[in-house]
């Protein structure tokens, strides 16, 4: 077999445009390469709802079987269901066929090893790439087989274990926008469990049917224009809160009862508070982009704060190192020790619902109290020619007044009443800027304008 370059391997996963970057041959080679790299006997495989996923998944499993391993096909699934399957079935690895929130003509693969530990560029992803590209696969004495495995009910049991009986003192109406992605069946199953538990929770389901044609647009609530339908449905139905997912529902996005998007950093604070109220001395892992509100809650409740570079591979490694009970990112990724240190898009909304049902506060009151104490800018993306030079010049510009300077992830600089974090994009000529202040919205706006002016005018 001849060497064939594969250009779709990234830092954390494999993704790209259908045809030149992602096709059945690439899928087959990844299947073979993964089994060889892991010396695997069993690989769990799931796939999202994209129209291209079934053929890619079939080719991937053919490669797995030709390499001598068994493929455990769990069917239509979000990424977290593969995480669960790898642990529940004690597999040597797992693959989710997904392009998550990418355009409709994209697809890809998320790979994990035993215990759902991520396979990234630092932990073997490029070794798999080399094997797949070379195509000189080892002969296997015996081929593996594909087994259709139903782990769905066990997975739902695992999700429900985070909220116990799910009882509350007040009813709650919730809008859930699945975006026609893979989340719909899980939402339906959780709704059934909640009804069985006599929970006073009513779900208004939006775009709940999986449809790989994405008739309502590719689900990506990170984009402001994709939040309108959720906000309108919340106001129309007079709901208490809204939730939206991306295509493989590994991220969970929140809205208050006024239809306003709740910034991810405040959700991290709320979940950190929840876990620390149960186990006060626990470790909480957070990323460096917006931190002051989360640090306030951790300190107030006696927790142990641990910073990590953003990105699921880094977050999971740090969580395992310190045995953190919870970790959260601004980007709406939430990680749980009791979910194998993995991220889940389903566990967060279940917990937040239970918090609100046992509280006298509305979601807007929770979010507003956080925003008033530590207002933030939201992530600002700016196009620049040389992002590394911009970071160096900003550090020099603000060095004299900075209280702390940190390079955990990009550049973070803290001052008496405000701070910022600025990071380079891994895939685009962009820098991502986040600014926060200590209760001073006027100062926040001044610094937003100031930093944008400096950056766009080459400092």
Are 388 and 424 a contacting pair, CB within 8 Å? yes
Q: How far apart are CA 453 and CA 459, in angstroms?
A: 8
User: Which tokens belong to 304?
Assistant: 């142990």
Q: How far apart are CA 298 and CA 277, in angstroms?
A: 10
- DSSP conformational letter for 218: -
For the CA atoms of 438, 442, 444, 449, the dihedral, rounded to the nearest 10 degrees, stands at -170
Are 156 and 191 a contacting pair, CB within 8 Å? no
Q: Please name the residue that has the structure tokens 């400092």.
A: 459
Q: How far apart are CA 252 and CA 265, in angstroms?
A: 12
User: Which tokens belong to 264?
Assistant: 């991810």
User: Which tokens belong to 396?
Assistant: 């020099």
* Active-site annotation holder among 100, 199, 313, 387: 100
User: Which tokens belong to 170?
Assistant: 């007040």
Pair type for strands 172-177 and 146-148: unpaired
User: Which tokens belong to 152?
Assistant: 């769905």
Pair type for strands 241-245 and 172-177: parallel
Asked about 100 being catalytic, the answer comes back as yes
User: Which tokens belong to 8?
Assistant: 């779709």
SS3 82: helix
Phi–psi pair at 16, nearest 5 degrees: 175, -175
SS3 283: strand
Burial of 399 (0-12, 13-18, 19+ CB in 10 A): exposed
Q: How far apart are CA 355 and CA 273, in angstroms?
A: 10
Q: How far apart are CA 324 and CA 329, in angstroms?
A: 14
Burial of 316 (0-12, 13-18, 19+ CB in 10 A): buried
Q: What is the b/e burial string over 171-190, where b = at least 16 CB atoms within 10 angstroms of the residue's CB?
A: ebbbbbbbbbbbbbbbbebb
Q: How far apart are CA 403 and CA 289, in angstroms?
A: 17
SS3 129: helix
Q: What secondary structure does DSSP assign to 15-41, as a single string?
A: EEEBTTTB-HHHHHHHHHHHHHHHT-S
Residues assigned a catalytic role: 100
């Amino acid at each position: 077999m001849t060497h064939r370059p594969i250009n779709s391997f990234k830092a954390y996963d494999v993704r790209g445009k259908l045809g030149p970057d992602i096709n059945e041959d690439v899928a087959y080679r990844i299947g073979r390469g993964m089994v060889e790299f892991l010396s695997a006997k069993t690989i769990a495989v799931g796939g999202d709802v994209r129209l291209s996923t079934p053929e890619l998944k079939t080719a991937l499993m053919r490669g797995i079987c030709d390499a001598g391993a068994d493929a455990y096909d769990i069917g239509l699934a979000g990424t977290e269901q593969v995480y669960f399957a790898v642990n529940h079935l004690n597999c040597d690895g797992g693959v989710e066929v997904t392009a998550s929130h990418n355009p409709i003509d994209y697809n890809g693969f998320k790979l994990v090893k035993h215990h759902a530990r991520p396979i990234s560029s630092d932990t073997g992803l490029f070794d798999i790439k080399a094997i797949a590209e070379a195509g000189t696969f080892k002969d296997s004495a015996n081929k593996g087989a594909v087994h259709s495995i139903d782990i769905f009910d066990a997975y739902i049991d695992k999700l429900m274990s985070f909220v116990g009986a799910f009882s509350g003192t007040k009813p709650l109406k919730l809008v859930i926008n699945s975006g026609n992605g893979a989340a719909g069946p899980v939402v339906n199953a959780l709704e059934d469990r909640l009804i069985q538990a006599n929970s006073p929770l009513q779900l208004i389901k939006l775009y709940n049917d999986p449809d790989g044609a994405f008739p309502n647009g590719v689900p990506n609530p990170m984009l402001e224009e994709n939040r309108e339908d959720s906000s309108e449905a919340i106001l129309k139905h007079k709901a208490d809160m809204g939730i939206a997912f991306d295509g493989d529902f590994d991220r969970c996005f929140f809205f208050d009862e006024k239809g306003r998007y709740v910034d991810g950093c405040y959700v991290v604070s709320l979940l950190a508070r929840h876990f620390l109220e149960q186990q006060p001395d626990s470790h909480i892992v957070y990323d460096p982009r917006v931190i002051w509100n989360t640090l306030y809650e951790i300190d107030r409740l006696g927790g142990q704060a641990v910073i990590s570079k953003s990105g699921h591979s880094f977050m999971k490694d740090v969580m395992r190192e310190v045995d953190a009970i919870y970790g959260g990112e601004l980007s709406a990724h939430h990680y749980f020790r009791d979910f194998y240190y993995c991220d889940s898009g389903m566990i967060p909304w279940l917990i937040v619902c239970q918090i609100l049902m046992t509280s006298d506060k509305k979601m807007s009151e929770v979010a507003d109290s956080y925003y008033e104490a530590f207002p933030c800018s939201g992530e600002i993306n700016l196009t620049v020619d040389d992002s590394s030079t911009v970071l160096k010049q900003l550090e020099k510009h603000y060095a004299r007044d900075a209280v702390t300077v940190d390079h955990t992830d990009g550049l973070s600089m803290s001052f008496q009443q405000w701070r910022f974090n600025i990071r380079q994009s891994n895939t685009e000529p962009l820098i991502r800027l986040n600014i926060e202040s200590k209760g001073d919205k006027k100062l926040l706006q001044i610094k937003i304008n100031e930093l944008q002016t400096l950056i766009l005018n080459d400092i």
